[in-house]
Structure 1
């Protein structure tokens, strides 16, 4: 299918005409190893000069991944839960950090994830909690600042900028994958229209434009169509009114290693 970028280009032109700016960020989930797909992600990030917040599964992160991240400054490691293990019963949507276990077990895993990532990635780590499947109980969110987290990231526009004292919510807004269907690229024209509508909502005051606009990818399952669309979308946003947002590292936030 040929992509029609006209709706997005028209919206971006309005942003520029009105001298508006769009904070833009990128998150990619499920990293555990240095793979050929991660190399592709890294090359794209570097070619766009757009850092990617790499949500790494702490339990399974290996040394080669740490070495790869250390060599590439556009990769920002963040904490992707603990083991990406589904603790929900069969009749509920998958989750690792909803209230299906005692709270002390849940917070132990969240803390273990942060501590392992601090050990493996040191100063490069960003203290952001990314719950697997973008699902986390509000009660768990309240515990995150006390564990050492400064950001939490799920999906869809945030309801509040600070869901807990000392914690900032920075969500993702567009995922190009058709998870419930082909598991390839979703209809590109639908994705373009959706992006244009979300930007229109921000421009017209119906949505919070202080929240960075987040693109969510999953490098391990990308086919060429997904790579191409992601590159085209990010390139257009960067050529328009966008400026790059990146979360500060643990060192920059003053958190202990």
Structure 2
């Protein structure tokens, strides 16, 4: 696969000339157990020195993930409860996108289950499946034990609710609206450059780490290759890796 990275490299060169800092973090969704694909993911994280934050589905999480997250290159977060769609008919998929009885209880059950598994290693950030969550549940998250919320697209404010820091993802290489393969690289690179320019011109918040989102269980070779090359390009240009576990007392 031949990819033209020159537009991204040109924008990153401007960042270096202007001594700008680009914090980046990596989130990977739907972890439930150790697999060959997960080993490939954490191996890449170690190679690049960029920890991968595993959004773990609490209801189906298996003990094999405990050993995975003993590595400094994999940290666990809370990915809903059962990754079950509860959206009304005709609406976009969501587990917690609409008010429903028992939703807060499921979230509390989820963080409790993963705290038992990972102890202090768990990052108390809630990742709602399909990146959608009802506003009333957002407001309830701090009382349920969460310090952060992560969805998709640039945040509009640092705090999603009092005591709850929003740290989103911004790059997703998977073509979900298509056949599930790789989004055309030129489309992704153009969007990434636009994201960087929005940060550079203060149209969006550059204090929010730029989030790279993956789903290791559904990667094909093109997605793996793009992920590796994109992360490598960003880090080679001076992007600063973020580990939200180390920052959980003072999330950016």
Match of 1:121 among 118, 121, 129: 118
TM-score after normalising by structure 2:
0.96
Q: How big is each residue's C-alpha offset from its partner over 1:177-206, in whole Å with a ceiling of 9 and x where there is no partner?
A: 001112011101111111111101111121
Alignment match, 1:51: 51
| Displacement after TM superposition at 1:89 (Å) | 2.1
Q: Which runs of 5+ in 2 are unaligned?
A: none
Alignment match, 1:215: 212
**Corresponding position: 1:89 with 2:98:** no
1:230-241 alignment, distance < 5 Å: 230-241=227-238
1:60-209 alignment, distance < 5 Å: 60-70=60-70, 72-102=71-101, 105-209=102-206
| Displacement after TM superposition at 1:124 (Å) | 0.8
Give the distance between the partners of 1:188 and 1:253, measured in 2 at CA: 36
| Displacement after TM superposition at 1:249 (Å) | 6.1
Alignment match, 1:18: 18
CA contact 2:99–2:134 (8 Å) conserved in 1:
no
Give the distance between the partners of 1:46 and 1:249, measured in 2 at CA: 16
**Bigger shift: 58-67 or 6-15?**
58-67
Figure out how many residues of one structure are paired with residues of the other and give that number.
250
TM-score after normalising by structure 1:
0.94
Q: How big is each residue's C-alpha offset from its partner over 1:217-242, in whole Å with a ceiling of 9 and x where there is no partner?
A: 00000011101110111011111131
Q: Which runs of 5+ in 1 are unaligned?
A: none
Cα 1:2–1:203 change in 2 (3 A) is same
3-state SS, counterpart of residue 228 of structure 2 = helix
| Displacement after TM superposition at 1:253 (Å) | 3.6
**Corresponding position: 1:38 with 2:38:** yes
Give the distance between the partners of 1:68 and 1:24, measured in 2 at CA: 22
CA contact 1:124–1:249 (8 Å) conserved in 2:
no
Give the distance between the partners of 1:244 and 1:92, measured in 2 at CA: 36
Give the distance between the partners of 2:77 and 2:13, measured in 1 at CA: 33
| Displacement after TM superposition at 1:163 (Å) | 1.2
3-state SS, counterpart of residue 96 of structure 1 = coil
CA contact 1:12–1:240 (8 Å) conserved in 2:
yes
